[in-house]
Amino acid sequence: MTAPLRWGILGVGDVCEVKSGPAFQQATGSELLAVMRRNGPKAADFARRHGVEKWYDSIDGLFGDPQIDAVYIATPPRYHREHCLAALAAGKHVYLEKPMAMNASECAAIIEAESQSDKKVAVAHYRRALPAFKKLGEIIRAGTLGQIRLAELNFFLPEDNSLVPDAATNWRVDPEISGGGLFHDLSPHLFDLLLVYFGLPLEYEGFSKRMNPAASADDFVQGTILFDNNIVFRGCWCFSVAPCAVSERLIVTGNEGVASVPFFGDEIRLCTEEGESILPFDNPVNIQLPMIEAVTSYFLGEGECPCATADGLRVMEIIDKFTA
């Protein structure tokens, strides 16, 4: 396949306005050719505002377009398996939003379909491509922290937070659509990074509870993961704390130093025997751009897969275990 890779987007909602949509127009070797949304006027409006040539109000219309080489599936997790399998059957490469599916069994079905297709699938665990998280991996691999003992995260948010506007009607907190609550929406990035940093987990355990009676899904999750070389991760998520209790830093502790990075990845705080330092980073405005660059290259046959479906399955297996 030769450039440009011609993209279609399935589900041009809020996430596509800034985080991802414009990146398909900026990535090297990429062209955003068409968008789709069931609400035709909104699909047309997105296409007009972003300078996209075509728009559709049906999946069949988008998948049936012979000019489209690859599809970005940005629909809620409830539809990921259905839409991914349909895209592969239509002869399209697939860039699939996280979480990969509603549960591990659905991820396995996607992997099976990919294995029977001559098309490729990549998962949108895009934080692994952002500069702060890449740098933290370099620090770990270089031995700057010595032997890693522990990685830990307390991810605390109040019930009313900017990540979930209109929480009462937002699909991210509806288990029938998202697979769970905010944990299912936010934790895939963290688990994916742990796999990148520490490899395959040896064992993991966790539990979840609904602390807030008004919540539609469990809003408290706690768990541990044991990696090779006795590296332990412990994590706690709670989405009904006081505003003054907000926390969202991943902390990696070794026998020679400590490094931490916020979930939104704009700095690394590093402490070793040489002293303390803060390393600042600028994320791209269209934050998925580095990953979309890599996925485009992979689909064109010019690079390695930046995040394989096997990684998405492993992430979902951990989520399933923590929330069983």
pLDDT digits (tens, 9 = 90+) for 127-161: 999 999 999 999 999 999 999 999 999 999 998 88
Residue 2: its pLDDT value, please? 87
Residue 93: its pLDDT value, please? 98
Helix (H, G, I), strand (E, B) or coil at 39: coil
Residue 162: its pLDDT value, please? 76
Residue 14: its pLDDT value, please? 87
Residue 36: its pLDDT value, please? 98
Residue numbers of the chain with a pLDDT score lower than 50: none
Q: E strand or H helix at 11, and its extent?
A: none
Residue 88: its pLDDT value, please? 98
Q: Which two tokens stand for residue 3?
A: 């450039």
Residue ranges of the domains in the chain?
A: 5-126+287-305, 131-282
Topology match between the domains 5-126+287-305 and 131-282: no
Going by C-alpha positions, the residue among 37, 272, 13, 260 that lies closest to residue 133 is 260
Residue 314: its pLDDT value, please? 98
**With the C-alpha atoms ordered 313, 76, 264, 307, is the resulting torsion angle positive or negative?**
positive
Widest CA span of the chain, in angstroms?
Answer: 60
Residue 1: its pLDDT value, please? 79
Q: E strand or H helix at 226, and its extent?
A: strand 220-227
Which residues touch 96 (CB under 8 Å, ≥6 apart)?
73, 80, 84, 110, 121, 122, 123, 124, 309, 312
Residue 223: its pLDDT value, please? 98
What is the CATH number that goes with domain 131-282? Answer: 3.30.360.10
| Domain 5-126+287-305, CATH homologous superfamily name and number | NAD(P)-binding Rossmann-like Domain (3.40.50.720)
- What gap in Å lies between CA 191 and CA 186, rounded to an integer? 10
* Helical segments of 96-240, H only: 104-115, 131-141, 175-178, 182-198
The pTM for the full model equals 0.96
Q: Which two tokens stand for residue 149?
A: 């003992």
Residue 61: its pLDDT value, please? 97
- What gap in Å lies between CA 17 and CA 37, rounded to an integer? 13
Q: Are 96 and 80 in contact (CB under 8 A)?
A: yes
